[in-house]
Structure 1
Amino acid sequence: MALPLSYNVRNVRNRWQVTLLAVSGIALVVAVFTVLMAMSEGFAIALRATGRPGNAMIFQRGSGSELSSWVPLDQRNMIAVRDEVARGADGQPLASPEDVVVTMKPKKNGEPTNISVRGVTPRAFEVRSGIKIVQGRNFTPGLYEVIVGDKIANRVQGLDIGSAVKLQKHDWKVVGIFSSQGSAFESEIWGDAEVMGVDFGRTGGSNAMAVRLKPGAEVASLDRWIRSNPQMQLQAVSEKKYYDDQAGPLAKILRILATSVAIIMGVGAVFGAMNTMYAIVAARTREIGTLRALGFSRRAILFSFVVESVTLALVGGAIGCLLAFPMNGYSTGTGQTQSFSEIAFAFRITPNIVGTAVAFAVIMGFIGGLLPAVRAAKLPITAALREA
Structure 2
Amino acid sequence: MKTFLRGLTLAIVVLLSIVAWTVLPWPVLLVMAVLFFLWTRFTRIGRQAGSATGVGISTLPQRVGSSSVVVVGIAGVVAVLVSLLAMGVGYRETLSKSGSADTAIVMRGGSASEVSSVLDHASVTAIAEAPGIARDAAGKPIASPELVVAANLPLKDGSGDDGSVQVRGVGDEAWTLRPDVKIVAGRKFKPGLRELVAGKGAQRQFAGLEPGHEIKLGSQTWTVVGIFDSGNALGSELWGDADIIASAYRRGSSRTSVFVRLTDARAFDAFKAALAGDPRLQVDVDTTLHYFSKQSEGFTKVISIIGMIVGGIMGIGAIFGALNTMFAAVAARAREIATLRAIGFRGPPVVVAVMLETMLLAALGGLLGGLIAWALFNGYSASTLAQGTVGSLNFELRVTPALLWTGLKWALAIGFIGGLFPAVRAARLPVTTALRES
Aligned to 2:38: none
Aligned to 1:286: 335
| 1:316 aligns with one of 344, 348, 365 | 365
1:129 Cα deviation after fit:
2.6
- Structure 2 spans left out of the alignment, 5+ residues: 1-47
SS at match of 1:218: helix
1:276 Cα deviation after fit:
0.9
Paired amino acid for 2:244: V
Aligned to 1:80: 128
Q: Deviations over 1:124-182 (max 9, x none)?
A: 0111230000000011111111100011112211111111111234211100000002x
| 1:295 aligns with one of 326, 344, 348 | 344
Aligned to 1:55: 103
Q: Deviations over 1:14-64 (max 9, x none)?
A: 111100111110000101011111111111111111112310000122111
Contact 2:128–2:143 (CA under 8 A) maintained in structure 1:
yes
SS at match of 1:143: coil
Aligned to 2:78: 30
Aligned to 1:128: 178
Residue 311 of structure 2 corresponds to residue 236 of structure 1: no
Cα distance in 1 between the residues matched to 2:82 and 2:153: 32
1:196 Cα deviation after fit:
0.9
Cα distance in 2 between the residues matched to 1:377 and 1:90: 82
Contact 2:130–2:275 (CA under 8 A) maintained in structure 1:
no
1:216 Cα deviation after fit:
5.1
Paired amino acid for 2:297: G
Q: Deviations over 1:84-136 (max 9, x none)?
A: 11001111000011000011111112232100000000110111230000000
SS at match of 1:333: strand
Aligned residues: 387
| 1:115 aligns with one of 162, 165, 168 | 165
Aligned identity (percent) is 39
Contact 2:77–2:311 (CA under 8 A) maintained in structure 1:
yes
Aligned to 1:218: 267
Paired amino acid for 2:331: A
Going by fraction, where is helix more abundant, 1 or 2?
2
33-42 vs 377-386, greater mean Cα deviation? 377-386
Residue 222 of structure 2 corresponds to residue 172 of structure 1: yes
Cα distance in 1 between the residues matched to 2:108 and 2:355: 58
Residue 50 of structure 2 corresponds to residue 3 of structure 1: yes
Aligned to 2:245: 196
Cα distance in 1 between the residues matched to 2:106 and 2:328: 65
Contact 1:80–1:93 (CA under 8 A) maintained in structure 2:
yes
Contact 2:196–2:224 (CA under 8 A) maintained in structure 1:
yes
Cα distance in 2 between the residues matched to 1:215 and 1:244: 19
Contact 2:133–2:141 (CA under 8 A) maintained in structure 1:
yes
Matches within 5 A, 1:222-371: 222-325=271-374, 326-371=376-421
1:352 Cα deviation after fit:
0.5
Cα distance in 2 between the residues matched to 1:297 and 1:273: 24
Cα distance in 2 between the residues matched to 1:17 and 1:93: 70
1:294 Cα deviation after fit:
1.5
Residue 75 of structure 2 corresponds to residue 64 of structure 1: no
Aligned to 2:143: 95
Cα distance in 1 between the residues matched to 2:202 and 2:72: 37
Paired amino acid for 2:263: K
Deviation beyond 4 Å, 4+ runs, structure 1: none
Residue 252 of structure 2 corresponds to residue 206 of structure 1: no
Give the alignment's TM-score, normalised by structure 1.
0.97
SS at match of 2:298: helix
1:330 Cα deviation after fit:
0.9
Cα distance in 2 between the residues matched to 1:231 and 1:83: 15
Contact 1:52–1:128 (CA under 8 A) maintained in structure 2:
no
Cα distance in 2 between the residues matched to 1:294 and 1:170: 89
